[in-house]
Amino acid sequence: MIDTTQHLSHIDTIKQVIKMTPVITNNNIELLEKVNAFYDSAWNKVIWVIGILIAIVGVAIPLTIQFWQNRKLASDRAELKREIENAINNATIAFTKYVDEQVKIKFDKLSKEVEAHNDLMHARTMVLQGNAFLKENIPYAIGAYIAAIENYYLAEDSQQVIYILEWVLKFSDEMKECSKIAIDEAMTYNKININELLNKLNESDKTGEIKDLTRKLKDVLTTLR
């Protein structure tokens, strides 16, 4: 009897569980659907946000890179421009300096050539003048020859210096007959300082030939009274 009663009690319990089971299952399904809907919505939002971020990054990063590249390119261009301008300025300064130096060198050379030519022309003129005075006025002829010697010296024509010194010494006897005053006047007329000139000739002499001739001329001039 007891067993039957207990059995009936179990059967009632099972029936109660069976009655409650659909309710619990329906609630669970509804809850699962809500959870599923929430996660679906959340996931879609996450995907949407990620998509937006990817789009922003995909646009922003290239734009940022391009911005910095353009900025660096502009900086590099400015630096390159400065370097080119500096190089051009330095080259211009160097070239101008070189041209100035070359012009100065050529001008100095040309000036010396012109001066030498003028000295030679003046020397030849003095020789002609000396020849013209030779028969009429020995002192002025000697003065003209000495002036020619000075101009040949300035033109650095040592051969003509030697030639005219030898020519003047040929008239040593004629000079000895002249007064010192007359010779000095002839030298002054031609703006010649005879002692200074003879010293310069000796300093420029490389063979000793000029020194020998100037010594002989000094000997003649010291005999004048």
pLDDT level of residue 30 (50, 70, 90 thresholds): low
* Beta carbons of 201 and 161 less than 8 angstroms apart: yes
Top-confidence residue, 130 or 79? 130
What's the confidence (pLDDT) of residue 34? 65
| pLDDT computed for residue 43 by the predictor | 64
**Residue 190 backbone phi and psi in degrees, to 5:** -95, 10
**Nearest Cα to Cα of residue 164 among 193, 197, 130, 190:** 130
What pLDDT is recorded for position 213? 93
59 vs 197, residue with greater confidence: 197
Q: What is the pLDDT of residue 114?
A: 85
H or E element, residue 26: helix 2-133
pLDDT at 11 over 80: no
Distance, in Å, from the CA atom of 186 to the CA atom of 57, rounded to the nearest integer, reads 107
Angstrom distance (rounded) from CA 161 to CA 201: 9
Taking the C-alpha atoms of residue 129 and residue 189, their distance in angstroms, rounded to an integer, is: 13
pTM of the model: 0.57
Q: Please compute the mean of the pLDDT values over residues 102-121 and round it to a whole number.
A: 84
Q: How confident is the model at residue 196 (pLDDT cuts 50, 70, 90)?
A: very high
Residue ranges covered by each domain of the chain: 109-222
Task: Tell me what the mean pLDDT of segment 118-143 comes to.
Answer: 92
Structure confidence at residue 64 (pLDDT): 75
Across the chain, what does the average pLDDT equal? 81
pLDDT tens string 66-87: 777 777 777 877 888 888 888 8
Query: Which of the pair, 41 or 8, is modelled with greater confidence?
Result: 41
Segment 36-50, tens digit of pLDDT: 666 567 667 667 777
Check: CB of residue 215 under 8 Å from CB of residue 202: no
Q: How far apart are CA 116 and CA 123, in angstroms?
A: 10
